Amino acid sequence: MKPLCARLLFAALTFAVATLNQGCASTQSARRSDNIVNLVDDYMAAWNAHDAARAAAFFDENIEYYDASVGASQHGKANAQKNVVEAFLQAVPDAEWKRDAAPIVGNDAVAFQWTFSGTNTGDWSDGTKATGKTFTVRGATLIRLSDNKIVFQADYYDAYAFFKQLGLAK
């Protein structure tokens, strides 16, 4: 991983650890943590089932979905579904998203590292043609919840390595 990407990933995870409530001593807190992990696992299962509508069902109507490699957010459930989930699943119909380790869970937030892999057999929503190449990229996600809905999601990964694997960067 490039030094800048490693620093960004470290900063994001440090922020998550610093802002997430680590106090899960009580049974109620432990149950809440388990519920958050189950929600994230179900959300990831929807992505892995290649079901954009099912994945978007986890979003709050006013979600902010931030992709650090793009540097911009998608605002609102419909935009996040169309411009993130559907766009990615169209370009990578065999996408697989795996959590790499136990997440860091707080009262209404979770952070976790992941691996995303697949084959780019569909065109990208920006008009970039499919390359037919496979990729595996590691990253981290921060999620904030309200009423068991995702109100904020931020994804951090090495976009250069991703594009390089797809043959879109040298």
pLDDT by residue (tens digit) across 71-93?
899 999 999 999 999 999 999 99
Record the pTM: 0.82
Q: Residue 6 — very low, low, confident or very high, per pLDDT cuts 50/70/90?
A: low
Query: What sign for the dihedral angle of Cα 53, 90, 140, 134?
Result: positive
Which one of 6-15, 30-39, 52-61, 101-110 scores highest in mean pLDDT? 52-61
Across 24-28, 31-35, 53-57, 100-104, least confident range? 24-28
Q: List phi, psi (to 5°) of 16.
A: -60, -45
By the 8 A CB rule, do 69 and 77 touch? no
Non-local CB neighbours of 142 within 8 Å, separated by 6+ positions: 12, 15, 16, 109, 110, 111, 152, 153, 154, 156
By the 8 A CB rule, do 58 and 39 touch? yes
Neighbouring CB atoms inside 10 A of 147's CB total 7
The secondary element (H helix, E strand) that includes residue 124 is none
Instruction: Please say if the pLDDT value at position 9 is more than 80.
Output: no
* Domains contained in the chain, CATH given: 3-165 (3.10.450.50)
